[in-house]
């Protein structure tokens, strides 16, 4: 995947490097991941902070996986799957939709801005949408600042 | 062979392998390959602690320690060997791992949880109160287990109503974190100590005199486990049930009676861990009729799961046996005092109703049950004194 190689931190960088968000994108194998491939083939540049994790279906992403990403240092998490009706496993993306709604509610209770978790449907032909989603979400997370940095409190 | 000192401190060398613990143990009866007696035997013979995934089946409900004639604290032995086991053979978390990672999330510095959205306008709180109500994880459970029960938030609400009726307007800890009970018993001492420090420091700053909790796990964690890490606390820790029972006995609270019969499921943390058996019974006996199940008080059977790990079909059988026991007493409702017991039992009940045609035994939380019978505080408490 493009986007992974730039994540290696440069040890020669300035002593206090500017803060960069850590963003995890759970991409389903059949749609969103193929969309990422298309963005790559089209040489669509997008936010380098995003790290892609391929899962077989967005419905495979459990609440614990999303929360684990946040406890392990992610500042934003995306769950990307097929459009409703297009799921390779018929209804996996609908499960993902319910779970993400639940986790957003949990994040809100825990004092974390629920907009740090994003659910989007991206098909294999939507390389441009994939790139745009990455850019927009990365900009949003940059705006929110680091997790626990004080901007989450309402 | 010298015994591992980690387990010897809990009386392991005194074990005579009589097997009473295994007979009493719910995890052994649920199935799997779990046997406290055999684990003790292996440890005594080899001097080492076993690395066996079955150790996660233990619910640390303390039946084994309660029944042991020789003072072996098997539930503590299990806790002591879990940190090492966690690295090699971690437990299988249920419910997508959400409960575990919420606990971790709430230990992150810099975030301030806002779980207090369950408040309703009729609840009386006082920001300068000397009593603090520790709410615990129930608001999270409301989100995770809404598919099972939609009334979980009634538990904190009812607790405040009960305290109000007893003449107490509690305050809440606004950035309350998880108590860390599950991390302690699942062998994550580091996380537990972090949570203990954060919670105790936040509460000590308030200068309160007593902390009350409706969740037996939170209560016992504050009462017995935090002092181990943080030293003696500057305030008293009590369960809501104790406060309410005291108010009923002093005649400070007026309750209406019903002819319903209730069976009471003693939560392990309230009963065997904290030794509180009478307070919930006072609450039930003054609002209805109490029917004792054959296994109650010290010998109460566990609700079937602890800390949301390693739940399975065998657990259901155990839970249904327990609800069957409650039905056998002629009780119309099974009442418990722990949100987790309520969740586990409801889960088993709902599932069995789907599988086999079966009457659904209503399950209820004791705080909700008693709060629904509040008439009000006694107008003249002095005259009501016994």
Region of B305 on the Ramachandran plot (φ > 0 left; ψ -120 to 50 alpha; else beta):
beta
* B117 contact residues in A (CB cutoff 8 A): 109
Question: Judged by CB atoms within 8 Å, which residues 44-73 of A form the interface with B?
Answer: 62-65, 67-68, 70-71
Question: Judged by CB atoms within 8 Å, which residues 93-122 of A form the interface with B?
Answer: 99, 102-103, 105-106, 108-112
Place of tokens 């789907």: B354
pLDDT value of residue B86: 87
Q: Rounded CA gap, A57 and A50, in Å?
A: 19
Looking at residue B337, the DSSP 8-state letter turns out to be S
Q: Rounded CA gap, A34 and B365, in Å?
A: 49
Q: Rounded CA gap, A47 and A33, in Å?
A: 16
In chain B, which residues touch A (CB < 8 A)? Answer: 93, 95-98, 100-102, 104-106, 108-115, 117, 139-140, 143-144, 175
Residues of chain A with pLDDT under 50: 1-8
For chain B, percent helix, then strand, then coil, each to nearest 5? 50, 10, 40
Q: How many CB atoms lie under 10 A from the CB of residue A90?
A: 11
The strand pair at B289-291 and B236-239 is best described as unpaired
Residue A33 placed within a domain: yes
pLDDT value of residue A137: 97
Closest-CA distance, B113 to chain A, in angstroms, reads: 4
- What does the pLDDT profile of chain B (386 residues) look like in tens digits? 677 777 788 888 888 989 999 999 988 887 667 889 998 888 888 877 777 788 888 899 999 999 999 999 999 989 988 998 888 888 888 888 899 999 999 998 888 887 778 999 999 999 999 999 999 999 999 999 999 999 999 999 999 999 999 999 999 998 899 999 999 999 999 999 999 999 999 999 999 999 999 999 999 999 999 999 999 999 999 999 999 999 999 998 889 999 999 999 999 999 999 999 999 999 999 999 999 999 999 999 988 888 888 888 778 888 888 998 999 999 999 999 999 999 999 998 887 766 666 678 899 999 999 999 998 666 554 443 33
Residue A68 placed within a domain: yes
Closest-CA distance, B115 to chain A, in angstroms, reads: 5
Residue A74 placed within a domain: yes
Q: Do A111 and B114 touch (CB under 8 A)?
A: yes
pLDDT value of residue A150: 66
Region of A20 on the Ramachandran plot (φ > 0 left; ψ -120 to 50 alpha; else beta):
beta
| Domains of chain B (ranges, CATH numbers) | 5-88 (1.10.1060.10), 100-245 (3.40.50), 254-375 (3.40.50)
Q: Do B115 and A109 touch (CB under 8 A)?
A: yes
For B138, the closest chain A residue by CA position comes to A109
Compare CB distances from B105 to A67, A149, A150 and report the shortest one's residue: A67
Q: Do B105 and A108 touch (CB under 8 A)?
A: no
Residue A10 placed within a domain: no
Compare CB distances from B101 to A64, A105, A147 and report the shortest one's residue: A64
* B100 contact residues in A (CB cutoff 8 A): 64
Sign, CA torsion B162/B168/B174/B175: negative
Q: How many CB atoms lie under 10 A from the CB of residue A58?
A: 30
The strand pair at A76-81 and A50-55 is best described as unpaired
CB A44 within 8 A of CB A128: yes
Compare CB distances from A67 to B101, B113, B117 and report the shortest one's residue: B101
The strand pair at B131-134 and B171-172 is best described as parallel
CA distances from B28 to A60, B110, B301, B363 (A): 32, 43, 12, 25
Closest-CA distance, B125 to chain A, in angstroms, reads: 20
pLDDT value of residue B270: 95
CB B75 within 8 A of CB B307: no
Q: In what order do the strands lie in the sheet with B261-265?
A: B289-291, B261-265, B333-336, B363-365
Print the domain residue range for A94.
20-144
pLDDT value of residue B314: 79
Q: Rounded CA gap, B160 and B171, in Å?
A: 10
| Total domains present in chain A | 1
Q: Furthest-apart CA pair in chain B: how many Å?
A: 68
CB B133 within 8 A of CB B172: yes
Tell me phi and psi for residue B333, to 5 degrees.
-140, 140
Q: Do B108 and A147 touch (CB under 8 A)?
A: yes
CB B125 within 8 A of CB B160: yes
Domain containing A39 — which CATH number?
3.40.50
Q: Rounded CA gap, B156 and B68, in Å?
A: 36
**Whole-complex ipTM:** 0.89
pLDDT value of residue B355: 64
The strand pair at B236-239 and B210-213 is best described as parallel
Residue A127 placed within a domain: yes
pLDDT value of residue B385: 38
pLDDT value of residue A14: 53
């Amino acid at each position: 995947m493009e986007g992974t190689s730039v994540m290696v931190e440069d040890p020669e960088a300035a002593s206090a490097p500017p803060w960069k968000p850590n963003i995890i994108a759970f991409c389903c194998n059949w749609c969103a991941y193929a969309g990422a491939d298309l963005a790559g083939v089209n040489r669509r540049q997008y936010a380098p902070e995003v790290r892609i994790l391929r899962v077989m279906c967005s419905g495979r992403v459990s609440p614990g996986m999303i929360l684990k990403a946040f406890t392990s240092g992610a500042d934003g998490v995306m769950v990307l799957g097929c459009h409703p009706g297009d799921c390779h496993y018929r209804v996996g993306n609908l499960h993902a939709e319910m779970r993400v709604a639940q986790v957003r509610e949990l994040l809100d209770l825990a004092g974390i801005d629920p907009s740090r978790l994003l659910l989007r449907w991206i098909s294999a032909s939507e390389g441009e949408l994939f790139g745009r989603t990455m850019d927009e979400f990365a900009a949003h997370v940059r705006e929110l600042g680091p997790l626990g940095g004080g901007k989450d409190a309402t | 062979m010298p015994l591992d000192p980690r387990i010897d401190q809990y009386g392991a060398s005194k074990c005579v392998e009589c097997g009473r613990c295994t007979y009493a143990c719910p995890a052994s009866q649920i199935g799997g390959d779990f046997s406290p007696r055999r684990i003790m035997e292996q440890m005594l013979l080899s001097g080492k602690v076993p690395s066996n995934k079955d150790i996660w089946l233990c619910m640390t409900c303390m039946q084994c320690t309660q029944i042991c004639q020789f003072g072996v604290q098997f539930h503590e032995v299990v806790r002591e060997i879990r940190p090492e086991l966690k690295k090699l053979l971690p437990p299988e978390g249920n419910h997508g791992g959400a409960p575990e990672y919420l606990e971790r999330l709430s230990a992150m510095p810099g975030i301030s949880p806002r779980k207090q959205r369950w408040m309703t306008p009729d609840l009386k709180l006082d920001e300068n109160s000397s009593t603090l109500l520790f709410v615990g994880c129930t608001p999270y459970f409301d989100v995770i287990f809404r598919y099972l029960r939609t009334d979980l938030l009634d538990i904190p609400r009812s607790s405040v109503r009960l305290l109000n009726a007893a003449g107490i307007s509690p305050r809440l800890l606004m950035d309350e974190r998880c108590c860390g009970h599950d991390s302690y018993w699942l062998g994550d001492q580091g996380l537990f100590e972090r949570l203990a420090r954060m919670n105790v420091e936040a509460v000590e700053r308030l200068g309160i005199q007593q902390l009350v909790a409706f969740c037996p796990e939170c209560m016992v964690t504050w009462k017995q486990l935090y002092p181990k890490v943080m030293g003696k606390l500057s305030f008293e820790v009590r369960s809501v049930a104790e406060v309410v029972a005291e108010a009923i006995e002093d005649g400070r609270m007026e309750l209406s009676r019903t002819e319903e019969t209730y069976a009471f499921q003693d939560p392990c943390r309230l009963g065997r861990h904290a030794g509180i058996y009478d307070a919930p019974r006072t609450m039930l006996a003054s609002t209805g009729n109490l029917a004792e199940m054959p296994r109650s008080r010290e010998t109460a059977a566990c609700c079937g799961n602890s800390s949301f790990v390693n739940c399975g079909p065998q657990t259901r059988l155990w839970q249904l046996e327990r609800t069957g026991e409650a039905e056998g007493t002629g009780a119309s409702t099974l009442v418990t005092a722990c949100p987790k017991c309520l969740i586990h039992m409801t889960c088993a009940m709902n599932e069995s109703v789907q599988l086999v045609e079966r009457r659904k035994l209503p399950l209820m939380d004791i705080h909700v049950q008693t709060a629904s019978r509040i008439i009000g505080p006694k107008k003249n408490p002095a005259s009501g004194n016994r």
